[in-house]
Structure 1
Amino acid sequence: MITLYGTAHSRTHRVLWLLRELGLAFEHIPTDFVTRENRDPAFLAVNPNGRVPALVDGDITLWESLTINLYLSRRYGGEIAARGFVEETLAMQWSMWAAAELDKALFLAATNLRFFAAADRNPDDVALALRKLSRPFAVLDGWLTDRRYILGDRFTVADLNVAAVLSLVRLCGLPVEPYPAMSQWLGGCLDRPAADDYLRLDFKLSRLPPENYIFMFL
């Protein structure tokens, strides 16, 4: 039995999306960073880092959302899984790229566009984030210019992992018009039925001071 810890308004949504794509049965324990459930000793026994998501599948326990997704797609297969060594390597490459090149800058933009109360927002941080994102956005747009999906002609875990990181683009209304191939691809990924629960969440986190958001993504 698969057990997933975390809430949908965190990086856990990435794993929830994949589990639904795969049609796998799982137990979901909504461990919330806002109420500090991720610091409970019972959860720390699962993930001593105190981060969500965490996943237990039989005798294996995993942290890190994108790694969890690579594991699940490899173990349980289906159309979403990478096929063969080359595709698996590319899926890993793009997942690591999304974490390294997109994640922190997107979070900086998102907190200052949506999650922080208006008085705590810093437009300079938004401008900085957009400058940082311009290069990886151009890289992904160029890659997708003559491809429907990241690995070619079908939706795979590579698309899901990268699009899940980029879901903050839609949530916060970041401008992506200069990147038409990326924009079209991202829209198609986020419109998949298995993804839309996160995008329909009513985020009411601005009641919290900025320092609380460290538990959400970092």
Structure 2
Amino acid sequence: MGLRIYGVLRSRATRPVWLAKELGLPFERVPVIQAYRLERPDAPDAPLNTASPAFRAVNPNGLVPTIDDDGFVLHESLAITLYLACKHGGPLAPRDACETGLMTMWSLWAATRCEPHALTILQRLPASAKDHDPAAARAAVDALREPFGVLDAALRDGGGFAVGARFTVADINLAEVFRYAQPASGLFDANPHVQRWLAACQARPAFREMMAERETEPL
């Protein structure tokens, strides 16, 4: 069966797909769309979505991404990327228990400390956003000033990357959260190490390939 990744690329499925491309892993992607994006997710002709019984049989939480790796089913994007990196090794994976701890730490920090505010920026700051809300966006930017400074100092002192002075799975997990905050350009201008790091992450061929595929999907 090999590796199967469930989820459209306008979701957190970007994380395992980017990692799989970095590792050169063959995989099948099953494009499961979020049910909230469909007018009638239960319609007989609806595309496979997070409310579809067929997908709920794979992930009863009804969330993407999920992977099936030769029968091993795993949910949650950060758990998936950390698992795949550890399984396949190489420079993206932790080299020892200390690096395992650090990669887990940064991944959880990104998800809990930063992602809610970064998503608010993405959804509320652009004038073209359906839910444009300048006040909510400003509050989110203010909430991220301190975390941006924390990461900026860590990158400055750590050789330009989150762990081990090299590009790893931790950088993928962080970069995909910080991508959401890119409409708030002032945060990046004030934190040059974060700005350079994210640009380097997004210049990688695997990221560019993933994003090119993402752009072919409907909004």
* TM tier, smaller: 0.7 to 0.9
| Amino-acid identity (%) | 37
CA 178–199 in structure 1, closer or farther in 2 if over 3 Å, else same: farther
Distance apart, 1:204 and its partner CA: 6.1
Q: 1:46 to 1:185 in 2, by over 3 A?
A: same
Q: Distance in 2 between matches of 1:134 and 1:84?
A: 32
The AA in structure 2 aligned to 1:107 is L
**Match in the other structure for 1:116:** 129
User: Aligned-residue CA RMSD in angstroms?
Assistant: 1.7
Q: What is the CA deviation profile of residues 23-67 of structure 1, one whole-angstrom value per residue up to 9, with x for unaligned ones?
A: 001110010112341110110111111110000112311111011
Structure 2: runs of 5+ lacking an equivalent: 42-48
- What does the per-residue CA deviation read over 1:126-170, in whole Å, with 9 as the maximum and x for residues that have no partner? 101101111111110111112221113211111111111112234
Partner residue, 1:57: 69
**1:191 deviation in Å?**
1.1
- The one-letter amino acid of 2:129's match is F
25 and 199 in structure 1: CA distance in 2 versus 1, 3 angstrom threshold? closer
Q: 1:204 to 1:59 in 2, by over 3 A?
A: closer
Secondary structure of the structure 2 residue equivalent to 1:78: coil
2:5 matches 1:4? yes
| 2:17 aligned residue | 16
Task: Report the equivalent of 1:126.
Answer: 137
3-state DSSP class of the match of 1:3? strand
Residue 39 of structure 1 is matched in structure 2 by: 51
Q: Provide the secondary structure at the position in 2 that maps to 1:130.
A: helix
Task: Report whether the alignment pairs 1:182 with 2:194.
Answer: yes
Q: CA 1:166 to 1:30, structure 2 compared with 1: closer, same or farther past 3 Å? A: same
The residue matched to 1:102 in structure 2 has which SS?
helix
Residues 146-185 of structure 1: matches in 2 within 5 Å? 146-147=157-158, 148-170=160-182, 172=183, 174-175=185-186, 176-185=188-197
Alpha-carbon offset, residue 173 of structure 1: 5.1
C-alpha distance in structure 2 between counterparts of 1:174 and 1:94, whole Å? 22
Letter in 2 for 1:60: F
Cα displacement (A) at 1:193: 1.0
* Matched residues, number: 202
In structure 1, the partner of 2:148 is 137
Amino acid at match of 1:194: A
Q: Which has the higher contact order (CA 8 A, sep 6+)?
A: 1
- Match for residue 44 of structure 2? none
* Structure 1: gaps (5+ residues): 206-218
CA offsets 1:5-37 (integer angstroms, 9 cap, x no match):
001111000111000001001110010112341
CA distance, structure 1, for counterparts of residue 75 and residue 125 of structure 2: 28
Change (3 A) 1:108 1:156: same
Amino acid at match of 2:137: V
Runs of 4 or more above 6 Å deviation: none
